[in-house]
Amino acid sequence: MPKITLIPLNRVIEVAAGTTILVGATRQGIAITHDCTEGICGTDIARITAGAENLSAKTETEDITLETMDAGPDDRLCCMAKVLGDVTVEIIEEDG
């Protein structure tokens, strides 16, 4: 099963292929701030520091949301990115 390494938590979890980062983390008791779960609100933005090629392609909705947020090229939304292979994810918590 694919592994997700979550930083800065330094936790490694295994998830079934095709599971989103958000669902995979939540099932293992790791809270990632989120709201819509539909790729619209952007609260669950994360930076992929390794294994970006092992995630599902961005949907149009995710792409538009990230663009609106002025996100970097390595940023994804945890509710949208499905894990297909090993990946390292840096959770970005908004200040304040």
**Site for ligand FES, rule CB under 6 A:** 34-37, 39-44, 65, 77, 79
* Chain centroid to CA 7: 12
Q: Judged by CB, which is closer to ligand FES: 13, or 22?
A: 22
SS3 46: strand
Q: Quote the least distance from Cβ 2 to ligand FES, whole Å.
A: 19
Q: Which two tokens stand for residue 71?
A: 């996100």
Report in angstroms how near the CB of residue 74 gets to ligand FES at its nearest: 16
Torsion sign, CA atoms 35, 38, 41, 45: positive
Output the six-digit token pair for 43: 């609260």
Q: Measured from the CB atom, is 28 or 33 closer to ligand FES?
A: 33
Q: How far is the CB of 20 from ligand FES (least distance, A)?
A: 9
